[in-house]
Amino acid sequence: MIGRRRAGRHEIPAHAPRSAVVTGAARGIGEAVAAELVRRGYRVLVTDLDATAARATAERIGAAGGLAHDVTDPAGAHAVVAEARRLAPLGAWVSNAGVGFDGTVTELSEAHARALVEINLLGPVWGARAAVAAFREQAAAGVAHGGEIGVTVSLSALGPVPGLSVYAASKAGALSVVSGLASEVRREGIRVHAVCPDGVNTDLLRGMKPGGQAQALVRSGTLVTTEQVAAGLVGMFGTSRVYRTIPAWRGALLRLTALAPGPALRLEPAMRALGERKARSLRP
């Protein structure tokens, strides 16, 4: 039948409404992703540690609702999925919530080191597990087939970034999870994607130590907009593409530094100086 597809013994409209969850979506990249999904017809649930901000953002962008969500809690991810499925069958889960504490491996506090791993790496793991469980339940019940999982990663996942070593490691781990999971669930119609943007002018970047090594290195690249990141991630939905870098040339450069970190890191002082000059040029 034209315009319909089969799932089990039930026929499902090809364009039936689906729900979507975006974590850390009260502001910044998450808000932009949520807004993009709203434009594409999803019934979006905005989640954030700040419930009031999540609800305000949901109202502003026309999302279906907003609620508090701590991504370090595995049970919390399942509870959020249940809320989304009350709106419509789950169609997409986007793990965007993240922290960007900067500092060298020896400088970083224990609390910040743990938070980087628990939020940036384990957060997407718990989200993916809850989403995949929902997609499988929906398929078994003939309600809907497959779905999309998206993760906001970072260019730092692709190579060494002095001053952001633990942050970069947490993002590299998240990208590895995305790549492995994409292969594990692809036969079920579940597609998994990651977007790896260069620096984005959000609270995360502004919260880094002013004039510090990490902030200067990030600013040495190309600052991209939250809308570019959102379009890049959601644009992969429905495709087999696992990840993309924004801009593409910076991704290629970071991959080269990973292949030859010794020679590449000798360029660090020059890159840091470039970032500091860019930062000065932006000051009023």
Residues marked as catalytic: 167
**17, 88 Cβ separation under 8 angstroms:** yes
Helix, strand, coil share (%) of the chain residues, nearest 5: 50, 15, 30
CA angle (139 as vertex; 136, 144 as ends), nearest 5: 120
Tokens 């669930």: give the residue.
185
Helix (H, G, I), strand (E, B) or coil at 2: coil
**CA-CA distances (angstroms) from residue 230 to 10, 33, 70, 150, 246?**
33, 5, 22, 10, 11
Helix (H, G, I), strand (E, B) or coil at 95: strand
**131, 78 Cβ separation under 8 angstroms:** no
Beta bridge partners of 11: 6
